[in-house]
Amino acid sequence: MEEQAVQTVKKRRRFPGWARIVLAVVLTLLLSTGLWCLALGPGGLSMVETFLLARFAFVETDADLGAAVDQGLDAFVTGLGDRWSYYLDPEWYEQVMADRANSYVGVGVTVLTNAREEGLLVQSVIAGGPADQAGVVAGDVITAADGASLAGENREKGVELITGPAGTQVTLTLLRADGSTLDVTCIRATLHSPTASGRMLEGDVGYVYLANFNSGSADSFIQEVDALVSQGAKGLIIDVRNDGGGYVNELTEILDYLLPEGPIFTMKPRWGFKTITQSDEECIGLPMVVMVNGGTYSAAELLAAQLRESAGAPIVGTLTSGKGYAQVTFDLPNGGGVGLSTSAYCTGGGHSLIGEGLTPDVELELDEGVSFGGEDDNQLAAALALFDQ
């Protein structure tokens, strides 16, 4: 029976093999085009048609279509009416992804550009980084990079001259505290920035500032808190002022570390089921106060809300932003990226911050000209005073 069936097929073949392949390809293209038409709709097809007309019919043959696409995509996402969705052109996208990795290429120093007329004042040096290995210490003044002076007006160009591709070298001229000068050579490298910093305050209260919730922030935060606990901290102030947020997994890891067993985060995606993240029973078990302001966004805002909900932690500062959507950043063929709000989120107990933000228990504006965490930080003083009540 099998052989007979084969003979029948051979008798019915009317087209050569290559013709059948071409026909299959054409039918597939027609089918896929039809599906794309259904998916795009009139609006999407109009955008595609406009691009094709500009590409093949526009009189200015040297028109910068890339720039037009960037502007068009940005306008399209803005037109969605969601302040949290965004378009990133290729250059910006690359920078944003590097920032989210909490990494950069450099020599591993933090500098102040306006502290010394002679050049850039080294404020801190990353342990084990290129500058540290070359002998740069906090208090040094970088007066030149590869022979180019960084004094006076040139200070603003200093960071640009010091940074460069990984593996390349830069020679820094240093002015030391004793007035001596020397040249050191640093090999630029990819470095990871610690996002948390902490210190002990009076009354055995630990203070931790968290800059963001990007890659590695949970490890950095936990390391700082563990160090404070080992030093005898009996309370904890968590400062997330001007913290723009970051990744959900970094947030939930920190909340799980801080809080006892219970729900700590709720996610409601457009597609799929609502998920509630639970904390286990292990926690640090310390009284906490959280500091926020209008620049406290996203994961930082949710952290403060959840600490108040789960542990009764009071909040000090000013009204927060009121963000309640999570974004996913999608790669685009032009090298850019588009971040779209794909989920709504709220606290473990189901409270959303959209449009309302967090109203602090102690509402207090930061005094003008005061830096976060400094001795004259009046908001920090108010947070510390809560431990005496």
Q: List the chain domain ranges.
A: 2-63, 103-192, 196-388
Answer whether 281's CB lies under 8 Å from 260's CB: yes
Q: How far from the centroid of its chain's Cα atoms is residue 356's Cα?
A: 23
Amino acid occupying residue 81 = G
Answer whether 252's CB lies under 8 Å from 277's CB: yes
Model's pTM, two decimal places? Answer: 0.76
Residue 212 tokens, joined: 């963001």
**What pLDDT was estimated at residue 32?**
60
**What pLDDT was estimated at residue 222?**
96
pLDDT above 50 for 11: no
Contacts of 98 (CB under 8 A, 6+ apart): 104
Residues 183-187, mean pLDDT to the nearest whole number: 94
The CATH architecture one would assign to domain 196-388 is Alpha-Beta Complex (3.90)
Which of 316, 307, 297, 289 has the alpha carbon at shortest distance from 213?
Answer: 297
20-60, pLDDT tens digit by residue?
666 665 555 555 666 667 777 888 778 888 888 888 888 89
pLDDT above 60 for 352: yes
DSSP state of 388: G
Quickly state the pLDDT bin for 220 (edges 50, 70, 90): very high
Answer whether 244's CB lies under 8 Å from 212's CB: yes
Quickly state the pLDDT bin for 159 (edges 50, 70, 90): confident
Please say whether the structural domain 103-192 has been given the CATH code 1.10.10.10.
no
